Structure 1
Amino acid sequence: MRITGAVLEEIGRSAPYRDSLPLTVGALELADPGPTELLVRIEAAGICHSDLSVVDGNRPRPVPMLLGHEAAGIVEAAGDRVGDVAIGDRVVLTFLPRCGQCAGCRTNGRLPCERGSASNAAGELLGGGTRLSRDGTPVAHHLGASAFATHAVVDRRSVVPVGADVPPDVAALLGCAVLTGGGAVRNASGAAPGEPILVVGLGGVGLAAVLVARALGHPVIAVDTLPAKLETAATLGADRVATPDELGSTTAAVVIEAAGSARAFETAFAATAPGGTTVTVGLPSPAARASLPPLTFTAEARTVIGSYLGSSVPERDVPVYADLWRAGRLPVERLVSATLPLQEINGAMDALASSAALRQLITFDERN
């Protein structure tokens, strides 16, 4: 079928992207879903730093590639080996499919799926190969989703069904921002009930961590260098907000780093109390280096945990967050700072790169 999508033509074009136009919005061909795959009409797709990291070259991927990985949509067709998802179901797309059989999958979320990671790196679906093309030339998939498009073919293991009562703008964010930030709290941190949590970096993932921590009854200290983000964290329920300089001697037993920079990681480590745990979910440039005092690990019995996708198992965790939203305890929709048409994708990347945006959503007209 013919679809409209945003294809990254070349990695590393200079900002502003509104001028250099790394992404081209146009027509593509989408093959029918295979036996274990679904055709999904995309309703809403979030613009995340993981998308920007491909555009700016921090996460090299094969190009041309149809970007987008945080999304929700409606199932319009299913392969003959898919028996647990129905036509018309709303699903959350997740950016790391899990095969359920490899050593990574046996860690209950602590390690990524080996097959899923390999297919993501190759720009393919979990079942192998691509379903996208343009003028006869294959187009790579982004993280098994390629959600900056009117439709996507995805592996069944790349989606989690949610109820029709969960609106698209909420459902989309459950698949990345909330899984990652919330998972750092629920899955990786080991925080005791009611234990304070300090969050460094207040983008979409960091603020999702704030929301989930508050939903679970944890006092929250929110840290960022930008006053506007501190103000947002306060409105979302953070008990205290501060810049790194304003933290002073404040520490917490559980600190989550969600900025994806060496400076933020150093700030988070410095703010971790003796015996405490630093959880890092940010994805810095591969060239980034942080400086930490090795003696502190031993003398203060410190722990540092890396948590990819919040150490989540999407089919286990997405329903938990959906239920928290239903209960009025997780107002995910408050993370959305702008709603845009697909044609504005390059300008949206500029807004994200300048830290002027929180979570921008691309929405699609059902007639497309």
Structure 2
Amino acid sequence: MKAAVLLDYEQPVQTLDVELMDPKPGEVLVKMAAAGVCHSDLHVIKADLPLPVPLVLGHEGAGIVEAVGDGVTRVKPGDHVVLSWVPECGECYFCQISRYDMCDSAAASALMGAQRDGTTRFQLAGEEVYQFSMTGTFAEYTVVPEASAIPIRKDVPLELAALVGCSVMTGVGAVINTAKVRPGSSVVVIGTGGVGLNVIQGAKLSGAEKIIAVDTMDRKLEMARTFGATHTINAREKDVIMTVLDYTDQLGAEYAFEVIGRPETIAQAYNCLRKTGTAVVVGIASPNEEVCINAFSIPSQAKTLTGTWYGQGNPRIDLPKLLDLYKAGKLKLDELMTRTYDLSQVNEAFQDMLDGQVARGIIKF
């Protein structure tokens, strides 16, 4: 079977013939239908997320269950599933307090590039090939933990369903679960890629009055208006903080979301806030980078700076719910899927993402 494999950092991804082992107890074999192309995959290529290589990339995807290992009860062959890249263990401290996004076991396995037992399911010429976040969606078939396979309704095309597996859950969840944006409020979104557009969708769903989108590409800012932005700022042309003040009666925004993962834009999001405002970091920065914020402003302005991981969601509940919102006409997925690619075009898909050509690119199998 074919898979898109990163053999070494800073190198083009290669589409190779790999072997896939059968699912072990508690695991599920999924025939992939579609996989989203995400900046997080690019972070791995650039070694900003230093995962082991060779690695099957991809963590956003949907498909059909082909077979299940012993003890699997949540899904059966023929089920349509969206894959969760944070499969909760149900046993660690964070799972016990219903913070499944912070599951210790899922985080440890993701860093190893392996399944829960520490072994891999992909092989290349007899050697182990690692797997991105226990999913590895850039493959014709993949094996995942049972907790990663979230059963969904069958009346949503799988290429659209794939989108809720990362970008939609992360963006909408950051607004609804993490920030808890109030109706009538003002929101700034810095970075309008695939996840940023879903932050905008989440703000609109929450009833925000002003949704200010910030980017450096006019093309992406036009897309932001399609998804609900009421104001746009090209950061190459205008001072972002001063313009946000102009749009908010010189108070600043009540909420700001950073969806790029750069220290300077994280600080910018914080500085766009009014007193008592909340900034949420969604973007993934390199582990060795630091953010500089005025220390006196923290107590004197009572702002909140926090982060969010996977939209702070419960995938088993939230992923199907997002598809229900789509079917009810309240969530845009068709508009989000800008272009589809063959697996062999994965490098082209990454370049289109970098060039701002797509809201979300999808690999179809």
Q: Identity over aligned residues, as a percent?
A: 38
Match of 1:79 in 2: 69
Match of 1:307 in 2: 308
CA–CA separation in structure 2 for the residues paired with 1:226 and 1:9: 32
Match of 1:65 in 2: 55
Q: How does 1:290-305 map to 2 (within 5 A)?
A: 290-305=291-306
Q: Where in structure 1 are there 5+ consecutive unaligned residues?
A: 14-21
Match of residue 226, structure 1, among 212, 217, 220 = 217
- Seen in structure 2, the aligned counterparts of structure 1 residues 300 and 110 have a Cα distance that, compared at 3 Å, is farther
CA–CA separation in structure 2 for the residues paired with 1:129 and 1:106: 26
CA–CA separation in structure 2 for the residues paired with 1:111 and 1:4: 30
Match of 2:42 in 1: 52
Q: How far apart are 1:129 and its partner, in Å?
A: 1.1
Q: How far apart are 1:261 and its partner, in Å?
A: 1.3
Match of 2:126 in 1: 136
Q: Deviations over 1:59-79 (max 9, x none)?
A: 111111111100000001111
8 Å CA contact 1:278–1:305 kept in 2: the answer is yes
CA–CA separation in structure 2 for the residues paired with 1:307 and 1:155: 23
Match of 1:190 in 2: 180
Match of 1:266 in 2: 267
Q: Where in structure 2 are there 5+ consecutive unaligned residues?
A: none
CA–CA separation in structure 2 for the residues paired with 1:98 and 1:135: 32
8 Å CA contact 1:97–1:126 kept in 2: the answer is no
User: 3-state DSSP class of the match of 1:332?
Assistant: coil
Indicate the larger mover: 347-356 or 140-149: 347-356
Match of 1:8 in 2: 6
Match of residue 35, structure 1, among 25, 29, 37 = 25
Code of the residue aligned with 1:226 in structure 2: it is M
CA–CA separation in structure 1 for the residues paired with 2:163 and 2:198: 9
Code of the residue aligned with 2:31 in structure 1: it is R
Which 4+ runs in 1 deviate beyond 3 A?
Answer: 353-357
Q: How far apart are 1:326 and its partner, in Å?
A: 1.0
CA–CA separation in structure 2 for the residues paired with 1:110 and 1:160: 14
8 Å CA contact 2:171–2:311 kept in 1: the answer is yes
User: 3-state DSSP class of the match of 1:41?
Assistant: strand
The TM-score with structure 1 as length reference comes to 0.92
Q: How far apart are 1:124 and its partner, in Å?
A: 0.6
8 Å CA contact 2:181–2:203 kept in 1: the answer is no
CA–CA separation in structure 1 for the residues paired with 2:286 and 2:193: 17
8 Å CA contact 1:169–1:333 kept in 2: the answer is no
Q: How far apart are 1:111 and its partner, in Å?
A: 5.3
Q: How far apart are 1:300 and its partner, in Å?
A: 0.7
Q: How far apart are 1:179 and its partner, in Å?
A: 1.1
User: 3-state DSSP class of the match of 1:34?
Assistant: coil
Q: Deviations over 1:286-327 (max 9, x none)?
A: 233322111111101111111111111211211221111110
Match of 1:322 in 2: 323
Code of the residue aligned with 2:231 in structure 1: it is R
For these two proteins, the number of residue pairs brought into alignment is 354
User: 3-state DSSP class of the match of 1:121?
Assistant: helix
8 Å CA contact 2:160–2:337 kept in 1: the answer is no
Code of the residue aligned with 2:326 in structure 1: it is W
- Seen in structure 2, the aligned counterparts of structure 1 residues 143 and 201 have a Cα distance that, compared at 3 Å, is same
CA–CA separation in structure 1 for the residues paired with 2:109 and 2:244: 44
Code of the residue aligned with 1:6 in structure 2: it is A
Indicate the larger mover: 67-76 or 233-242: 233-242
Match of 2:284 in 1: 283
Match of 1:18 in 2: none
Match of 1:93 in 2: 83
